[in-house]
Structure 1
Amino acid sequence: MRVLITGGSGMVGRNLLEHTASNRFSIIAPSSQELNLYDFDATKKFLLKCSPDILIHSAGIVGGIQANIREPFKFLVGNLDIGRNLICAARDVGIKRLINLGSSCMYPRNCSDPLSEEMVLKGELEPTNEGYALAKIVSARLCDYISRENSEYQYKTLIPCNIYGRHDKFDPSQSHLIPAIIHKIQVAISNKKDSVDVWGDGLARREFMYSEDLADAIYSAIDRFETLPSIMNVGLGYDHTINEYYKEVAAIVGFEGQFVNDLSKPVGMARKLVCVKRLNKWGWEAKHSLSEGIEKTYKFYLEKHNK
């Protein structure tokens, strides 16, 4: 089977390429120079040339809370253009199977209950990443509309919870929570500091899944595509507070200092936990515990980013 992966140089794409299941497929993972997703005609031409059996759309402009607050225009327009061009070009050239990766940012803010797939567009979005969320919602709706209009086209969306792991971004200006914590604590250790700042009170709850597990779920989706729901969360079904993530990282890297909560900083949504009932019914669950995932991520950080 010929599998085209967009975003092959990103964290999700690289984890897909490194996964043992990749050996069972003919993988096409073009660079941004080879496939310019901002150019519709070029995208259409590339898809016609490679003619994949299934398309995995994992490309996108991503970043943590600081980046989203700083550059909302880029996160909205860039991801909107990428998603629209790829999905519409795939339809135009006759690619019948596509798996689109959404984001749990697509869900309404401040929901205490787990976020079920039916809740997309059922409430106000979190302002700190609204642009990114809007773009992801449009891509998911495009997939749904295409499949509704012509059942031969099965364009489905997976909505992962927050992801961390190998090939993550560790620069605090761009990174998500766990890689940012790893970097901050490692810098504190290197500089012999006895404290690390935490944005907000640290009581907001987040769900983070190790990136290798997401890759495993995507390959399971390829293998069992016919049974895959049209839209489905991929997550753990449980979460931790931000303070707990700091403590877990500290225990693994050996930091014995204190954490100082900076209440002047934004924290985003109070909780963002996806509902995994549909996922469990489909028959998949993550394999890595939090400590296992952080240990592997920290090892990667030391090898690649702390030289």
Structure 2
Amino acid sequence: MKILLTGANGMVGRNILAVAPNYDHEMLAPTSRELNLLDAGAVRQYLEQHQPDMIIHAAGIVGGIQANIAQPVKFLVENMQMGLNILTAANEVGVAKFLNLSSSCMYPRDAINPLSEELILKGELEPTNEGYALAKVTSTRLCEYICSENPDRFYKTIIPCNLYGRFDKFDPNHSHMIPAVIRKIDEAKKAQKQEIDIWGDGEARREFMYAEDLADFIFYALDNFAEMPQNLNVGLGTDYTINEYYQTVAEVVGYAGKFTHDLSKPVGMKQKLIDDTKLKSFGWRYKTSLHDGIKKTYEFYLSEYCNE
């Protein structure tokens, strides 16, 4: 197939492109300068010109809890505009297949874990990333609506758990937890700091999957797209506490100091674990353990990020 990948320069996009040579597809991977997803006319023109067989929509404004709290307007408006523009143009131009990447943050904050696909819009969202979540809910629902109106459309959504890995951002103001912790602990080790603070009590639980595993899943999904459910969680089906993530990173980095807890800081949802029942039935399972994934990510951090 000729596949258009949006967000090719992001962490997920770069992991997809790194795996793509193993498969027999032609990949279109425009930069945001070549395809401005916020410009509806430009999106339609690009699709008419290139006529992709399928679109993988991995573009988005992303960031950790601090970035979401600081810029809720940007996270809501730009993510929603990108999703609406690419989905409506694809449908109008006649693109038959669309794989929409959503996020487990669109599940209700008080939902009972593990989070099943049927829980979308069944409760209040987590306030610390509500704007981003609303945008993701909108794209997910629009895929459903397009399919209900036109049986020739296969517009489906995957809902990954939290991700980390090669090509991640390690900026403390914009990165997610694992890359932020890798940088924090590496710098503490180099500075010979004896203790590191953790936001909250460290008992909140999170599920993080190595991003290369998600790329592996995506190509598995392309080969089995007709059988894939409309909405599908993609993750580990198991989670760890924030404290356990800090401890694993410390082991990999070789940091021997101690941890303290700053109970004045926000922690977000107490748990966010996806239900992987449908994923198992679909026949796919992750490959990379937490320790191995953090080790590979730390090696990338040292070789690429620290040398930029």
TM-score if structure 1 supplies the norm length?
0.99
SS of residue matched to 2:147: helix
The corresponding residue for 1:94 is 94
2:205: which partner in 1?
205
Q: Deviation digits for residues 41-67 of structure 1, max 9, x if unmatched?
A: 100000111111111000000000000
SS in 1 for 2:9: coil
Q: Is the 8 A contact 2:165 2:211 kept in 1?
A: yes
Report how far residue 111 of structure 1 moved: 3.1
- Compute the displacement of 1:255 (Å): 0.2
In the alignment, the residues of structure 2 paired with residue 260 and residue 183 of structure 1 have an alpha-carbon distance, to the nearest angstrom, of 17
Q: Label 1:154 to 1:140 Cα distance change in 2 as closer, same or farther (>3 A).
A: same
Does the aligned pair in 1 maintain the 2:171–2:180 contact within 8 Å? yes
1:124 aligns with 124
Is contact 2:5–2:28 with CA below 8 Å preserved after alignment? yes
Aligned to 1:214: 214
- Counterpart CA distance in 2 for 1:33 and 1:215 is 24
Q: Distance in 2 between matches of 1:22 and 1:71?
A: 38
User: Deviations for 1:65-118, whole angstroms, at most 9, x for unmatched residues?
Assistant: 000011011000010000000000101100010000000001011334200000
**Matched residue SS, 2:124:** coil
Aligned residue number for residue 262 of structure 1: 262
Task: Kindly indicate whether the alpha-carbon contact (under 8 Å) linking 2:69 and 2:128 is maintained by their aligned counterparts in 1.
Answer: yes
1:234-258 deviations in Å (ceiling 9; x for gaps): 0100000000000000001100001
CA contact (8 A) 1:111 1:271 kept: no
Over the aligned positions, Cα root-mean-square deviation in angstroms equals: 0.9
Q: Counterpart amino acid of 2:288? A: H
Separation in structure 1 between the aligned mates of residue 42 and residue 262 of structure 2, nearest angstrom: 47
Match of 1:33 in 2: 33
Task: Note if contact 1:144-1:230 (Cα within 8 Å) is conserved in structure 2.
Answer: yes
Task: Work out the CA distance in 1 between the residues paired with 2:275 and 2:172.
Answer: 29
Match of 1:187 in 2: 187
**Alpha-carbon distance in 1 for matches of 2:174, 2:168:** 10
Residue 178 of structure 1 corresponds to: 178
CA contact (8 A) 1:102 1:136 kept: yes
Give aligned pairs, total: 307
**1:152: how far off?**
0.4
Q: Does 1:273 align with 2:268?
A: no
Query: Shift of the alpha carbon at 1:260?
Result: 1.0
Unaligned runs of 5+ residues in structure 2 are: none
Superposed CA deviations along residues 147-167 of structure 1, whole A, max 9, x for unmatched, are 001110110000000000011
1:21 CA displacement: 5.2
Deviates more, 1:219-228 or 1:203-212: 219-228
> Normalized against structure 2, the TM-score is what?
0.98
- Secondary structure of 2:132's match? helix
Give the superposition deviation at 1:129.
0.2
Q: CA deviation at 1:208?
A: 0.2
Distance 1:224 1:47, change over 3 A: same
Compute the displacement of 1:20 (Å): 5.1
Spell out the pairing of 1:57-206 with structure 2 (5 A cutoff): 57-206=57-206
* Identity within the alignment, %: 57
Preserved CA contact (<8 Å) 2:44 2:90:
yes
| Mapped partners of 1:82, 1:3: distance in 2 | 18
For residues 137 and 189 of structure 2, what CA distance do their matches in structure 1 show? 40
Q: Distance in 1 between matches of 2:94 and 2:192?
A: 58
Between the aligned partners of 1:128 and 1:219, the Cα distance in structure 2 is 32
Instruction: Name the counterpart of 1:291.
Output: 291
Provide the secondary structure at the position in 2 that maps to 1:233: strand
Alpha-carbon distance in structure 1 between the residues aligned to 2:220 and 2:285: 11
